[in-house]
């Protein structure tokens, strides 16, 4: 099952609750290692027969953060797109120098959902834009809309 409106756990739960015929079925959830247990716990609490398989693992590559930061500054990177809490926490962890963190938190950050907005704010970001959806088309349109509204891409030309 997949939510066509929002790509998050909460939307998927709504689908399960609306479709009572699913309650008698066995549900297998596939997720990443150490993923949120919200869906499993909520469904079990409501009487669904749920099993969980952790079928993948995110592995962050080792990078030379000082070299990467020089590149990001050279290319005038000022915007980050973050779609999960692991990435937010990893960014906070790898930027350990106070000046690196200052630069990082000055970046505009696009996050998916209010849960990530809250976490980003707790970590230290101020300029946070929340996307309701996690699909690539919506995220790209949201980023373009935000930058055109600030006229950061230059003047739009009529076609």
Q: 107 with 51, same domain?
A: no
Residue 155 lies in a domain: no
Q: How far apart are CA 40 and CA 30, in angstroms?
A: 10
Note down the domain range covering 123: 65-149
Instruction: Residue 109: name the closest of 98, 101, 121 by CA.
Output: 121
**pTM greater than 0.75:** no
CATH number, domain with residue 73: 3.40.50.10090
Q: Show pLDDT as tens, one digit a residue, over the chain (159 residues).
A: 666 666 677 777 888 888 777 778 888 988 888 888 888 898 889 888 889 999 998 888 888 999 999 999 999 999 999 998 989 999 999 988 888 999 999 999 999 999 999 999 999 999 999 998 888 888 999 999 988 776 555 555 444
Answer yes or no: is 70 within a domain: yes
Polymer length of the chain: 159
Considering the domain architecture, whether residues 144 and 74 belong to the same structural domain is answered as yes
Residues 86 and 125 grouped into a single domain? yes
Residues 114, 132: Cα–Cα separation, whole Å: 8
Does 36 reside within a domain?
yes
Q: Are residues 94 and 125 in the same domain?
A: yes
Q: Does residue 132 share a domain with residue 69?
A: yes
Is residue 158 in some structural domain?
no
Residues 73, 137 within the same domain: yes
**Is 120 part of any domain?**
yes
End-to-end CA distance of the chain, in Å? 40
Report the domain count for the chain: 2
For residue 66, count CB atoms less than 10 angstroms from its CB and return exposed for 0-12, middle for 13-18, buried for 19 or more: exposed
């Amino acid at each position: 099952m997949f939510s066509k409106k929002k790509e998050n756990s909460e939307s998927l739960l709504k689908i399960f609750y609306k479709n009572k015929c699913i309650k008698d079925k066995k549900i297998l959830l596939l997720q990443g290692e150490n993923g949120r247990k919200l869906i499993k716990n909520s469904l079990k609490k409501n009487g669904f027969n749920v099993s969980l398989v952790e079928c993948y693992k995110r592995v962050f590559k080792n990078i030379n953060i000082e070299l990467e930061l020089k590149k990001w500054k050279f290319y005038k990177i000022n915007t980050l797109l973050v779609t999960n809490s692991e990435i937010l926490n990893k960014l906070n962890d790898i930027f350990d120098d106070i000046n690196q963190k200052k630069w990082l938190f000055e970046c505009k950050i696009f996050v998916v959902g209010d849960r990530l907005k809250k976490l980003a704010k707790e970590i230290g970001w101020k300029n946070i834009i929340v996307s309701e959806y996690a699909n690539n088309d919506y995220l790209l349109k949201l980023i373009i809309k935000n930058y055109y509204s600030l006229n950061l891409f230059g003047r739009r030309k009529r076609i």
